[in-house]
Chain A
Amino acid sequence: MVARIGEDPEAFEAFYREHVQAVLRYATRRTRDPHAAADLVTEVFLAAISAAGGYRPQLGTPIAWLHGIARNVAASQERRAARIWAAEGRIAGHRLLDGDDIARLEERIDAERASRHLLERIALLPRRLREVLELVAVDGLSVSEAAKALGISTVAARVRLHRARKALQQPGANPGSAPSPSSLVEA
Chain B
Amino acid sequence: MNAERFEERLMHELKNHVQQRAESPHPDHSATARPRRGARVRWIPVGLASGLAAAVAGVALTVLPSQPAAAYTLQNDGNDLVKLTIVNPAGKIDLGKLQKDLDRIGVHSRVLAGDPDCATPWGSPDPTASPSPSSSPSTSPNPEPPRGETPRSAPPGSAHPSPGDISLPADGWDISGEDGKTVLHIRPGKIPAGKLLMVGFPLAKTDPSHAYGVITAGLLDGSGPDCLPAPPPGTVHFQ
Contacts and interface: CB of A to CB of B under 8 A. Distances in A.
Interface of A: 5-9, 12-13, 16-17, 20-21, 24, 38, 41-42, 45-47, 49-56, 58-59, 65, 67-69, 71-72, 88-91, 93, 96-98, 100-101, 103-105, 149-153, 156
B106 to A, nearest CB: 6
A13 B17 contact: no
Nearest to B1: A100
A68 to B, nearest CB: 3
B167 to A, nearest CB: 15
Interface of B: 1-3, 5-7, 9-11, 13-19, 21-22, 27-28, 31-34, 80, 103, 106, 108, 110, 188-196, 220-223, 226
Contacts of B103: 58
A16 B80 CA distance: 33
Q: B18, B103, B108 — which one has the most chain A CB atoms within 10 A of its CB?
A: B18
A34 B6 CA distance: 11
Chain A interface, DSSP helix/strand/loop, else mixed: helix
A72 B21 contact: no
Contacts of B17: 46, 49, 91
Contacts, number: 136
Given A20-B11, A41-B10, A50 B193 contact: no
Contact of A151 (B7, B11, B189): B189
A12 B1 contact: no
B37 to A, nearest CB: 9
Given A59-B196, A68-B194, 4 more contacts: A7-B27, A9-B19, A67-B193, A150-B193
A69 B193 contact: yes
Contacts of A59: 108, 194, 196
B191 A151 contact: yes
Nearest to B103: A58
A103 B18 CA distance: 29
Nearest to B223: A50
Nearest to A75: B192
3 smallest CB-CB distances across A and B, nearest first, come from: A68-B193, A54-B222, A51-B222
B226 A100 contact: no
A97 B18 CA distance: 21
Contacts of B31: 88-89
A117 to B, nearest CB: 25
A68 B3 CA distance: 27
